[in-house]
Structure formats: C-alpha cells, structure tokens
Amino acid sequence: MIAENDVLEPVAPAALAGLDFFPIWATDHHGRPVTPDSAGSVPYWPETGGTRFLLVRWAPLSALPEPSGDVDELNADAERQLPGLMGAFEPENPGFHTSDSVDYGLCLEGEMWLRLDDDVEQQILPGTCVVQRGTRHKWENRSDRPATMLFVLVGAGRSGV
C-alpha cells in the first residue's frame, strides 16, 4: 500500500532566508503518522521516540537575501510553518542550535559545512552521513550552488541523547 504520492512544496519561512524544508513524514512515539494541524503543520521536533523524515535545501551563503520586515513577525510566521524550530536557535549565535533528538543526515547534493563547539568544522560532501546526537551545531553552505541534506530525526530526551 502506498500511503501518499505527492509532489512536496517547500516550506520556506522568510526568517530562515535561503532554506527550503520538505517535511516528508512524521510519526509519534507509537510509530503512528502525525497529522498536520489546521495550519497544515506538525511540530518540527519529534517527541521522545517519534520521528521526522525531511529534506532541507540550503542556498549558498553568498546568495542569501537579507531578511526584511519585523523580526518578531518573521519569527512568528516561521513558528506557524515549522512549530518549535525557531526555539532551538540561539539568537546571539545565528544558526547555532541544539535539539533533543538523534539526527541522521545524508548529503544528497552540494557541499555543506557542519560547525560544532570550539570552532570544530567538517566539510560534508554528497554521500557523507552524519549522526548528530543532540550536540550544539550549525550548518552552512559555503559553496556557490545549492546543497540538499536528507534527515531522519529521532526524538530523545536530553539525558538520553
């Protein structure tokens, strides 16, 4: 049985200029599909034992537009589109975030940089797999073309990450 067969439209909040999110599938801690709310969204981060399956496409840093508009309104709009995501970001350190999840990432196209604490950095090329275990990190596309990562997020309590 095929549950769905649709073309996904990106979720692209203006507060996260240059990022396109393609939420593919979400489950709760029992493995049941999570249904979208009235706005068509599901919580970005999975509950403990829940999952999220998504693609994220980054525009090159050099091509990022400057966000325009009221910051609070932009953040509120992003929160409506991807509930919970904005709360993981550090306002004083743009792009850095920490989650209560184990994240399996696979670079599908382009070139990404994963930046960790203490300025530890790793270049991520197509075919590279990353397992992110609730650590503080930041993603950047420093190339001159878009990059796409495939992620599976598995919810885990902070003590269990």
Tell me the per-residue pLDDT of 62-100, one tens digit each, with 9 for 90 and over: 998 877 889 999 999 999 999 999 999 999 999 999 999
Distance between first and last Cα of the chain: 34
Domain boundaries, the chain: 14-160
Query: 157: which residues sit within 8 A by CB, 6+ positions away?
Result: 48, 100
Residue 158: the pLDDT is 66
For residue 1, pLDDT over 80 is answered with no
| pTM given for the model | 0.92
Q: Would you state the pLDDT for residue 160?
A: 47
Residue in the structure block whose two tokens are 């439209």: 9
Q: Domain 14-160 falls in which CATH fold? A: Jelly Rolls (2.60.120)
The tens digit of pLDDT for each residue in 10-67 reads 999 999 999 999 999 999 999 999 988 887 889 999 999 999 999 999 999 999 887 7
50 closest CA partner among 29, 20, 24, 23: 29
- 114, 97 in Cβ contact below 8 A? no
